[in-house]
Amino acid sequence: MSEINNYLEYINDYARRDQAGFVAGSERRYCNIIASVANRISDSGHIKIIMLAGPSSSGKTTTAKKLSQELLKKGVKAHEISLDDFYLNREDAPLREDGTPDFETVHALDLPLLKTKLGELIKNGESELPKFDFYSGKRSGEVEYIKLAKNDLVIIEGLHALNPEIIQELDNGKILKLYVSVASRIYDETQRIILNKRNLRFVRRMLRDEKFRASPVEHTYSLWNSVLTGEELYLRPYRKFADLLINSIHIYEPCVFKNEAVSALGTVLPESSFFNDAQRLIKSLEMFESIDSSLVPGDSLLREFLGNAGLSDQS
């Protein structure tokens, strides 16, 4: 994991002096990590399946895409499969004890269909895969046909990619297991935490939900505790199975998210149960210098949450 300087004073100083250089350096750090992973895969000669897991808004989708691009430079074609496309229709989701739908459990996925499709890919080298529409909350009528050539491999990404319910079906000798997440907090020079890892992921998710899922900030807040509970139950116990950990923080991200995030959080009204938390987050974000989003490369991981270019998606 590449070294980073995760102090508020350093971030603001660099943002004042050289915004373009700051952005470029942070992007380069992440790309170097992905290139290192691609080298390991290419050098191994036997890896055919990459399981890529991580919590909400960790950047799984872009990590998978970037890894595919790096592998292609080495003559290896990677086909990307998102576990999100195997969600059950929203009305069919399993329920918690209180009767509310549980979208975080592995059983919110259509496991029989998933196992069937992975089995077809492994045994026959081809399959038709479903596509999920997050706007409607249902599986769309579209399918994606994948046919594996001799040197191809598969990247399977999603919250549950390291869950034994899924990986026990696969040949462990041919798998590389990756865990991607925001793995750094941001401190001030007194060692006080300004933004913790969950804060950073929440800001990412909040902005993404507004842009890609037509979901207001209040709704993101209303789901967040269940998201975190689901991660504790269904993801973190399996993190230990990962072969490699990838820290997806882009240390300039609070600067580029600041204005949009503060505006969005400002819509949370005083009567809301989330008001105090939103105000605390606003105060933290206002400590950062602003960086215009036009400086963010079109293929940056942050485009998953900013939109408007490159590899924007819904991981």
Query: Residue 83's Cα: distance from chain center in Å?
Result: 12
Distances (CA, A) of 194 to 7, 80, 112, 158, 188: 9, 35, 44, 28, 7
Q: Is the C-alpha dihedral spanning 205, 206, 211, 217 positive or negative? A: positive
Domain at 8-306: CATH architecture: 3-Layer(aba) Sandwich (3.40)
Q: Which amino acid is at 264?
A: A
Pick out the chain residues at pLDDT < 70: 1-2, 309-315
Structure tokens at 17: 């002096």
Q: Please give the pLDDT value at position 292.
A: 95
| DSSP label of 172 | G
Per-residue pLDDT, 2: 52
User: Which candidate, 235, 64, 92, places its Cα nearest to that of 165?
Assistant: 235
The answer to whether 315 touches 60, Cβ cutoff 8 Å, is: yes
Q: Which helix (H) or strand (E) holds 260?
A: helix 253-265
Identity of the residue numbered 129: L
pLDDT at 313: 42
Give the predicted TM-score (pTM) of the model: 0.89
pLDDT of residue 171: 75
